[in-house]
């Protein structure tokens, strides 16, 4: 007894929590498809009243048929059937027409709403900081918003429409049944309460199961990608990993399928019990009506009217409960969507912004300490560095020394826990983020390979300014990408990548395109993270000969582990464990016989071998 009371209280509490999301969902639909929503509501009103007209016309037809049979039949007596028959035909035709129109309107509305939700999710994903991508909980939220909740606003409106239509029809049928006695509508109502309980309780159970298994569902998607995507295809075959990932996928899917089927089995049994209660109620009501017919209190037309009204009433009640359950289910999943849309960026803006000063003197790290989210050790601690304007600065060091972290802080993907970054004395936290980033161009260590045209792969570096063909070709020449582009049949209009049937490039050629993309933007600060890592020694030598000319007059920061690249810098800083341990020119660092000199000697021996 007590568990049932607790479960009922749980259902009630959850329902109260979800209610605020309903008007918000309605506003979302109104914004995306206002006109279709109005037409749809009018159609619902008409479709809700048509079943009532059918019930009354059924009584007229039955009474007319009984009168005709009593009069001995004949064509002349059949004429009395024509008005009711014609009216019934018109109602049936109108029902089919309005149903078809309604389907078209619902589809148009659903498509607009889904596109609008996509826009909201994409806008929010781009608005949030890079730190969210370090949090596995964020991926769960994003998955629930993109997969579980994407179609929920449209489904919610469709279910709400079905609910309204059922309520209209049910109210009218209740009025019809009241003519036979007040206990008939009450019996109809109470006979469907068990079904309502089944709908609400199982909706909560399914939602909880879905939330608890979001990570498991994402894992199945990951295993599926590992077995099917191009990036992992070679290692899957070389190391014989196919069976391993297939078994992971199969075992996890088996568990999810088993748990879901248990939920469905339990729900089906409860639904069957609730349906039997409804049928027993209908059987009792029909038995009572049969006695009334035998006693002569009601005619055959009245019996047909009662049967149609009670049957339609029960059907509408089941439809109403089903719609209410789906509305509840959709609202619960919409909670996931709105929770995602309500996430706030962690990098905030100051109350008063200052204009970007321009990098005319120095970019400076002052006592910067920074930890990545959910890590216990700092990537940088008490870090200090001066990057003078108009010069080339190189950072060298082993992997994990904190070099790439500097890029993320300069671009303000993260803010430091302590200390500050200054551009000509202005703290970058007081600068407009978009304006700051427009003055920076970066070649990332793992640049994106856009499955698009060669032209766009370069143009994305300065897409806001709509670069013309001349600028694109100049950037390609500067990066040494013009030669591989020239070998493609369609040159700059060639599609790259295998997703859409394009050409595939080597790793070094993709890197040259990324370099061209970085050079295209006329930014004051150029940051290159391992700019020659995918180039062979000949290509690297060719590019380095032109590098100083390419960055003339601008500030450049090169992050590299290749000393031949660092040689191009005016000043070289050696990083280790989040700190600068040596600084100077190449010659000065060799003369100091420290960490740089020993690493240089080791790399030169490896190159000779």
- The number of CA neighbours under 13 Å toward the Cβ of 606 is 9
Domain 447-522 has CATH 3.40.605.10: no
Give the H or E element holding residue 4.
helix 2-18
Size (the chain), residues = 609
Number of H helices, E strands in the chain: 22, 10
Neighbours of 407 (CB within 10 A): 20
pLDDT in tens, 79-90: 666 776 777 778
**Structural contact between residues 474 and 550, judged by C-beta atoms closer than 8 angstroms:** no
Torsion of CA 402, 408, 410, 411, to 10 degrees: 170
Q: 25: number of CA atoms within 13 Å, CB side? A: 30
Predicted confidence at residue 255, as pLDDT, reads: 92
Residue 378, CA atoms < 13 Å, CB-side half-sphere = 16
d(CA 181, CA 178) in angstroms, rounded, equals 5
Q: How far apart are CA 87 and CA 94, in angstroms?
A: 10
The three-state secondary structure class of 556 is strand
Q: What pLDDT sits at residue 87?
A: 77
pLDDT at 2: 46
- Supply the pLDDT for residue 579: 85
Contact in structure between 167 and 48 (CB atoms under 8 Å): yes
Tokens of 293: 């017919």
Tell me, what's the pLDDT at 1? 41
Quick check: 307 and 289 in contact, CB under 8 A?
Answer: yes
CA 147, distance to chain mean position in Å, is 6
State the chain's maximal CA–CA distance in angstroms.
125
Instruction: Give the model's pLDDT for residue 267.
Output: 73
Coil vs helix vs strand at 583: strand
CATH number for the segment(s) 359-439+523-609: 3.40.50.300
How far apart (Å, rounded) are the C-alpha atoms in residues 590 and 599? 10
For 373-435, give the DSSP string.
TT-SS-SEEEEEEEEETTSEEEEEE-TTSSHHHHHHHHTTSS--SEEEEEETTEEGGGS-HHH
Residue 206 contacts residue 263 (beta carbons within 8 Å)? yes
Supply the DSSP symbol for 578. Answer: T
Strands 571-576 and 555-560, by their bridges, are: unpaired
Tokens of 52: 């009532």
| 111 neighbors 36 (Cβ within 8 angstroms) | no
Task: Let me know: does 282 contact 314? Beta carbons within 8 Å.
Answer: yes
Cβ pair 109, 154 in contact under 8 A: yes
* Nearest Cα residue to 29 out of 93, 105, 82: 105
Nearest to 396 by CA among 584, 591, 562, 603: 562
CATH superfamily of 20-211+243-341: ABC transporter type 1, transmembrane domain (1.20.1560.10)
Nearest to 413 by CA among 345, 462, 356: 345
Spans of the chain below 70 pLDDT: 1-19, 33-34, 36-37, 40, 44-45, 48-49, 52, 55-56, 58-59, 61-81, 84, 148-181, 183-200, 238, 271, 274-279, 281-286, 288-290, 292-333, 534, 537-538, 605-609
Q: Give the CA distances from residue 527 to residues 158, 270, 557, in Å, rounded to whole numbers and listed in that order.
A: 51, 64, 5
- Closest to 53 in 3D by CA, of 176, 215, 191: 176
Q: Is the dihedral of CA 494, 497, 499, 501 positive or negative?
A: positive
Each domain of the chain, given as residue ranges in start order, spans 20-211+243-341, 359-439+523-609, 447-522
Residue 101: the pLDDT is 76
Q: 39 exposed, middle or buried (CB, 10 Å; 0-12, 13-18, 19+)?
A: middle
Same topology for domains 359-439+523-609 and 447-522, yes or no?
Answer: yes
Burial 356-388 (b: 16+ CB within 10 A, else e): beebeebbbbbebebbeeeeeebbbbebebbbe
Could you tell me the pTM of the whole model? Answer: 0.70
The residues with which 395 forms a beta bridge, in sequence order, are 559, 573
């Amino acid at each position: 007894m007590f568990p049932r009371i607790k479960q009922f209280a749980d259902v009630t509490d959850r329902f109260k929590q979800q209610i605020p999301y309903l008007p918000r969902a309605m506003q979302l639909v109104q914004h995306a498809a206002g006109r279709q929503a109005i037409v749809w509501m009018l159609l619902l009103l008409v479709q809700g009243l048509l079943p009532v007209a059918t019930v009354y016309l059924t009584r007229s037809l039955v009474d007319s048929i009984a009168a005709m049979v009593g009069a001995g039949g004949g064509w002349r007596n059949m004429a009395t059937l024509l008005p009711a028959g014609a009216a019934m035909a018109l109602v049936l035709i109108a029902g089919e027409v309005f149903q078809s129109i309604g389907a078209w309107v619902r589809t148009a509305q659903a498509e607009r709403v889904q596109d609008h939700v996509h826009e909201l999710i994409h806008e929010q994903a781009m608005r949030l900081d890079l730190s969210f991508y370090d949090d596995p909980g964020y991926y769960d939220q994003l998955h629930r918003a993109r997969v579980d909740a994407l179609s929920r606003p449209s489904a919610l409106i469709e279910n709400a429409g079905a609910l309204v239509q059922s309520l209209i029809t049910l109210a009218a049928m209740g009025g019809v049944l009241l003519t036979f006695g007040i206990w008939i509508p009450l019996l109809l109502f109470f006979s469907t309460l068990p079904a309502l309980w089944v709908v609400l309780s199982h909706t909560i159970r399914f939602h909880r199961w879905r939330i608890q298994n979001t990570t498991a569902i994402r894992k199945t998607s990951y295993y599926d990608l590992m077995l099917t995507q191009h990036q992992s295809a070679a290692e899957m075959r070389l190391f014989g990993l196919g069976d391993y990932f297939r078994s992971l996928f199969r075992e996890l899917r088996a568990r999810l399928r088993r748990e879901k089927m248990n939920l469905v089995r339990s729900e089906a049994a409860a639904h069957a019990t609730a349906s039997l209660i409804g049928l027993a109620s209908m059987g009792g009501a029909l038995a009572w009506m049969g006695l009334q017919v035998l006693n002569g209190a009601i005619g055959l037309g009245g019996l047909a009217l009662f049967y149609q009204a009670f049957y339609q009433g029960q059907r509408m009640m089941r439809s109403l409960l089903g719609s209410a359950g789906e509305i509840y289910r959709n609202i619960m999943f919409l909670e996931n969507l709105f929770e995602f849309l309500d996430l706030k960026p962690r990098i905030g803006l100051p109350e008063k912004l200052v204009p970007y000063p321009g990098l005319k003197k120095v970019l400076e790290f002052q006592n910067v300490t920074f930890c990545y989210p959910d890590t216990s050790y700092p990537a940088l601690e008490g870090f200090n560095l001066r990057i003078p304007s108009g010069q080339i600065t190189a950072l060298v060091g082993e992997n994990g020394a904190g070099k790439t972290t500097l890029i993320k802080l300069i671009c303000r993907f993260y803010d430091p826990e302590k200390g500050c970054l200054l551009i000509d004395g202005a703290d970058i936290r007081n600068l407009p983020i978009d304006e700051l980033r427009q003055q920076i161009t970066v070649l990332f260590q793992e640049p994106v390979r856009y499955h698009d045209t060669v032209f766009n792969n370069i143009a994305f570096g300065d897409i806001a300014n709509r670069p013309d063909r001349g600028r694109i070709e100049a950037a390609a020449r500067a990066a040494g990408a013009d030669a591989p582009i020239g070998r493609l049949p369609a040159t700059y209009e060639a599609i790259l990548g295998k997703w859409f049937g394009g050409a595939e490039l080597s790793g070094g050629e993709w890197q040259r395109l990324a370099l061209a993309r970085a050079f295209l933007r006329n930014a004051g600060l150029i940051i290159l993270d391992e700019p020659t890592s995918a180039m062979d020694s000949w290509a690297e030598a060719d590019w380095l000969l032109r590098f100083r000319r390419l960055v003339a007059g601008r500030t450049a920061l090169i992050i590299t582990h290749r000393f031949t690249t660092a040689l191009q810098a005016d000043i070289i800083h050696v990083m280790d464990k989040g700190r600068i341990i040596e600084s100077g020119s190449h010659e000065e660092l060799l003369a100091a016989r420290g960490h740089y000199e020993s690493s240089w000697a080791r790399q030169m021996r490896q190159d000779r071998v």
